[in-house]
Amino acid sequence: MNTTPKHRDTDLHGAILEDRVVPPDGHWGRVIEPGHLLRIVDLEGRQAVDFLCYDAANPAERYNAADTMKYAGTIFLTTGHGIYSDLGRPLLTIVADTCGRHDTLGGCCSAESNFFRYGVRDTPNCRDNFLAELARFGLGKRDIVTNLNFFMNVPVEPDGRMTLKEGFSVPGDFVELRAETSVLAVIANCPQIHNPVNGFKPTPIRVIVRNPGEHDILEEKRA
């Protein structure tokens, strides 16, 4: 069991560069500089957070799900695992994780996949929200790849079947990522209500970007 304390504002040493609540069906993006930290807080629990990342200087280099899983040796990423590009470079490292279960397989929901699976049209979806946020950085449809889903629970059964289930996260669970290079991070806060990944009730998340500064760096060296 992961015994890391849940999010506390007193843990946020260094300079806070951004502190924002992203509503359900909302999106967010920012360039994060090397050594800076991105904390994603699940405020109410059981909320899937779709995530993409790119080399900010060359967005053609971006998150690669297959290589990230191969290098980690698992489909369930957690503290200590890198998030790798298609050129084998770590873009980010997970430095804290109070949930311990995130999805690397399911990708993002879209209006088309929601119609295929649930027979409903014109639904809010993460793909459209990714597109809206990516447009702010001059990126588009061709730049969406299989994404990482923080706090989303997609177990794989012994026979290979994937299932979508309610997440394990509880209010205040968080994942924190350290940028290993200048990284464009993009979030679509999942609005899905037709399967249980959000407990059928999408909720807001909190996104915090900070420069940990000298204090945290010294503490890390002592550990």
pLDDT digits (tens, 9 = 90+) for 37-77: 999 999 999 999 999 999 999 999 999 999 999 999 999 99
Mean pLDDT of the chain: 93
Please give the model's pTM, rounded to 2 decimal places: 0.92
DSSP 5: P
Which tokens sit at 204?
Answer: 């807001």
Question: Which pLDDT score, from 0 to 100, does residue 215 have?
Answer: 57
List Cα–Cα distances, 173 to 41, 100, 168, in angstroms.
6, 10, 9
Look at residue 155 and tell me whether its pLDDT is greater than 90.
yes
Residue 148 phi, psi dihedral angles, 5° rounding: -95, 140
Question: Which pLDDT score, from 0 to 100, does residue 217 have?
Answer: 45
Pairing of strands 183-189, 148-150: unpaired
Residue 155 phi, psi dihedral angles, 5° rounding: -70, 155
pLDDT band at 1 (very low <50, low <70, confident <90, very high): very low
User: What is the pLDDT averaged over residues 182-208?
Assistant: 97
Look at residue 25 and tell me whether its pLDDT is greater than 70.
yes
Distance CA 176, CA 206 (A): 12
Question: Which pLDDT score, from 0 to 100, does residue 222 have?
Answer: 39
Half-sphere exposure of 71 (CA within 13 A, CB side): 19
Q: Where are the domains of the chain?
A: 20-222
Distance CA 185, CA 205 (A): 15
What digits encode the pLDDT tens for the residues 67-94? 999 999 999 999 999 999 999 999 999 9
Residue 133 phi, psi dihedral angles, 5° rounding: -75, -40
Residue 170 phi, psi dihedral angles, 5° rounding: -120, 165
Report the DSSP beta bridge partners of residue 32. 183
